[in-house]
């Protein structure tokens, strides 16, 4: 089988409210969409979601890189995923989000060729995935209101974006805990927003509110700091921005930096390398969360398939569509009783709505 065409689209998904974290804010999901067509008539879809302060790519960078990767993979066999992944990594080593979109499309084709849903083709175990819903950086009053809406919608796991002044962060977490009571799970994510002293101050103060874990309290490069902070608090620390590919996963395990990983396909270059990270984590006794950026339901569905493939994956931050104004995707995951449920179709089991796609700019 050979790749006969690759189409690349701007894939902007409007959000209901601005999404604000410690290092950036966006009011639209500035994603890219890739369609791979083969000489056997099979079509694979993939999505990349670049949050620039996390992955170092903007939508413009991803679109430019995708044009080059398009020329690179035309005529190749999309089933040779391991070889293609390694060659794309050598060709464009820093464009993880762009590579993720191509990787998803290749896996979609491979599963369709096998006549299987993607989770089955990856050897996963189909199960409901209990997800959290994220509250971005807002006032304590707004956080309380958002928590009520989330709880009333049937979710009992809340993730809060922190990383500002510790006193302000503490006020917002306290407000949410008061609102939802002891029955809800609260997770926090500082997105590199604190320095070492602020992180310890904040985390020790947050301990009384029964926080399940904290993602990335320090800058990505400060592994020694992460290790030190993890010893100063009873709240487990999870690496996010410090974890990209299997190389960084191996370093984190060998140096015993943190006990938890957040695997995101837009950081790991997609499913192929994401599975390598999960294997390293499993061997090292690391608990993993499968996370996402701001993908549409298409990318989210691929991520959910991936999330079934390792026993190391214990937590699921798969709420990307919760804050999106419109759904441009046919098929895909469903959400019920606070859990994501996989579709029955072949491959990813999701594809763009043709009407929506017709309004998107094709750049290659």
Residue 183 φ then ψ, to 5°? -75, -20
82-92 pLDDT per residue, tens: 999 999 999 99
- With cut-offs at 50, 70 and 90, classify the pLDDT of residue 153: very high
Q: Given this model, what pLDDT does residue 22 score?
A: 87
| Structural domains present in the chain | 3-115+353-358 (3.30.390.10), 120-351 (3.20.20.120)
Stretch 321-326: mean pLDDT: 93
| d(C-alpha 251, C-alpha 76), whole Å | 33
Active site (catalytic) residues: 161, 189, 215, 240, 264
Q: Does the pLDDT of residue 81 top 90, yes or no?
A: yes
| d(C-alpha 206, C-alpha 229), whole Å | 14
188-225 pLDDT per residue, tens: 999 999 999 999 999 999 999 999 999 999 999 999 99
Stretch 212-240: mean pLDDT: 98
Quickly count: other Cβ atoms within 10 Å of residue 283's Cβ. 11
In the chain, the percentage of residues whose pLDDT exceeds 70 is 100
Q: Given this model, what pLDDT does residue 245 score?
A: 96
Residues 6+ apart with CB under 8 A from 269: 85, 88, 89, 96, 99, 100, 103, 245
| d(C-alpha 316, C-alpha 291), whole Å | 6
Pinpoint the alpha helices (H) of the chain: 52-55, 59-73, 81-91, 96-114, 118-121, 140-152, 166-180, 196-206, 223-230, 246-254, 265-268, 271-284, 297-306, 354-358
Q: Given this model, what pLDDT does residue 78 score?
A: 98
Query: Mean pLDDT of all residues in the chain?
Result: 97
Q: Give the strand order in the sheet containing 185-189.
A: 133-135, 157-161, 185-189, 211-215, 237-239, 260-263, 287-290, 313-316
Q: What is the dihedral of CA 273, 276, 277, 281, to 10 degrees?
A: 170
**DSSP letters of 249-260?**
HHHHHHTT--SE
1-52 pLDDT per residue, tens: 999 999 999 999 999 989 999 899 999 999 999 999 999 999 999 999 999 9
Triad 124, 112, 68: Cα angle to 5°: 100
Reference 22, options 213, 245, 172; nearest CA is 172
The gap between the terminal CA atoms of the chain, to the nearest Å, is 22
Tokens representing residue 135 in the block? 């509250």
In the chain, the percentage of residues whose pLDDT exceeds 90 is 98
255-276 pLDDT per residue, tens: 999 999 999 999 999 999 999 9
43-60 pLDDT per residue, tens: 999 999 999 999 999 999
DSSP 11: E
Tokens representing residue 213 in the block? 């874990």
């Amino acid at each position: 089988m050979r790749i006969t065409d690759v189409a690349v689209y701007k894939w902007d998904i409007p959000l209901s409210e601005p999404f604000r974290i410690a290092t950036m804010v966006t009011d639209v999901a500035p994603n890219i969409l890739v369609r791979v067509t083969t000489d056997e008539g099979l079509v694979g879809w993939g999505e990349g979601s670049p949050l620039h302060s996390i992955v170092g790519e903007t939508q413009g960078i991803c679109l430019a890189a995708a044009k080059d990767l398009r020329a690179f993979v035309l005529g190749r066999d999309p089933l040779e995923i391991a070889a293609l992944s390694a060659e794309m990594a050598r060709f464009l080593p820093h464009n993880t989000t762009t590579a993720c979109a191509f990787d998803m499309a290749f896996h979609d084709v491979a599963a369709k060729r096998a006549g299987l849903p993607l989770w089955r083709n990856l050897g996963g175990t189909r199960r409901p995935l209990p997800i959290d819903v994220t509250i971005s950086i807002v006032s304590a009053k707004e956080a309380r209101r958002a928590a009520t809406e989330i709880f009333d919608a049937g979710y009992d796991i809340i993730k809060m974006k922190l990383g500002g002044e510790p006193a302000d962060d503490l006020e917002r977490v306290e407000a949410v805990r008061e609102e939802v009571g002891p029955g809800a799970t609260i997770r926090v994510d500082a997105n590199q927003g604190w320095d070492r002293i602020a992180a310890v101050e904040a985390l020790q103060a947050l301990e009384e509110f029964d926080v399940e874990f904290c993602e990335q309290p320090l800058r990505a490069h400060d592994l020694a700091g992460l290790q030190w902070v993890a010893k100063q608090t009873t709240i487990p620390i999870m690496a996010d921005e410090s974890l990209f590919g299997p190389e960084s996963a191996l370093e984190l395990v060998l140096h015993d930096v943190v006990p938890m990983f957040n695997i995101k396909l837009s950081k790991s270059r997609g499913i192929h390398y994401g599975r390598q990270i999960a294997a390293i984590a499993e061997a090292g006794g690391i608990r993993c969360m499968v996370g996402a950026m701001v993908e549409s339901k298409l990318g989210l569905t691929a991520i959910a398939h991936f999330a079934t493939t390792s026993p190391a994956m214990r937590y699921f931050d798969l709420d990307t569509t919760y804050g999106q104004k419109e759904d441009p995707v046919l098929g895909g995951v469903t959400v019920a009783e606070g859990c994501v449920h996989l579709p029955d179709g072949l491959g990813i089991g999701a594809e763009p709505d043709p009407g929506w796609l017709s309004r998107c700019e094709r750049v290659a």
